[in-house]
Amino acid sequence: MKLTLDQISKIEETLVLNGIQYDDIKLELTDHIASEIEDKISINGISYEIAKDEVFQNWRYQMKPSSSFWVGLIYSSPKIVMDRWESTTKRQQFQSLFFSVMPTLGLIGIFKIYNNSAFIDNAVQCLSLVLFFLIIYYRVIIWKSKRKTSFSLMFGRNSNLILFYLMLLGIGIAPLRMNEISICHNIIGAFLISWFFVYLFFNLQLAFKHFQFVKKLKLS
């Protein structure tokens, strides 16, 4: 038995009441739950309302409020949202560590060629200002779209701290300061700045995924 548009709409309303307000997860869960309800009606011969209550009872654990050390204990979301947020954050952080090696070597190489940390500091400062305003621009677009996705949630929360550090780099408060005296200092400094920008890149990908999802919704 196929559910009617009104019945599917009631599933979406129930999801929103349970804190699932992000369109990508809401769409995904609506499909899963609708299929489970259809199966229960067909196999057990029960009414839509009874099948709906039973299915949502099975999903109750995934919808309870949850928090995570990886994303910050001050944030709370339904468990299914938090699990995805935590998984994405872990993957981004570990990938950033791996992909930071080459930029680190590149910064060390540039310093050896120019033997002047001011050149690198100025480049980092300019890049930081450009990325600062780019993130602000993306956040404004997401806010104007009035669409909420798990991607926009993660991008928005993660970019708060990123914007703060970009501002410090952009105004020269947190420069790299490489020197010939301490090779260890140079490597650590270059790696930290590389990790930051690689992590920022992965965070920008979340904004792109949000835009792609919104575009897909408009076309469907």
Residues 14-25 pLDDT 10s: 999 999 999 999
Q: Tell me the pLDDT tens digit for each residue of 178-189.
A: 665 677 877 888
Together in a domain, 86 and 184: yes
Together in a domain, 87 and 168: yes
Together in a domain, 212 and 105: yes
Together in a domain, 108 and 56: no
Together in a domain, 121 and 44: no
Total number of domains constituting the chain = 2
Tell me, yes or no, whether 109 lies in a domain: yes
Together in a domain, 93 and 149: yes
On the question of pLDDT at 37 being above 70, the answer is: yes
Tell me, yes or no, whether 164 lies in a domain: yes
Together in a domain, 117 and 146: yes
Strand locations in the chain, DSSP E?
65-68, 72-78
Together in a domain, 117 and 18: no
As given in the structure block, the two tokens for residue 85 are 């947020």
Together in a domain, 18 and 117: no
Together in a domain, 162 and 91: yes
CA dist 197 and 112 (Å) reads 21
CA dist 51 and 26 (Å) reads 19
Together in a domain, 196 and 124: yes
Give the range of the structural domain holding residue 211, as residue numbers without chain letter. Answer: 79-219
- Exposed / middle / buried, residue 102 (Cβ in 10 Å: 0-12, 13-18, 19+): exposed
Together in a domain, 56 and 87: no
Q: Tell me the pLDDT tens digit for each residue of 64-81.
A: 999 988 888 788 899 999
Tell me, yes or no, whether 73 lies in a domain: no
Tell me, yes or no, whether 13 lies in a domain: yes
On the question of pLDDT at 177 being above 70, the answer is: no
CA dist 155 and 209 (Å) reads 10
Tell me, yes or no, whether 47 lies in a domain: yes
Tell me, yes or no, whether 74 lies in a domain: no
pLDDT band at 101 (very low <50, low <70, confident <90, very high): very high
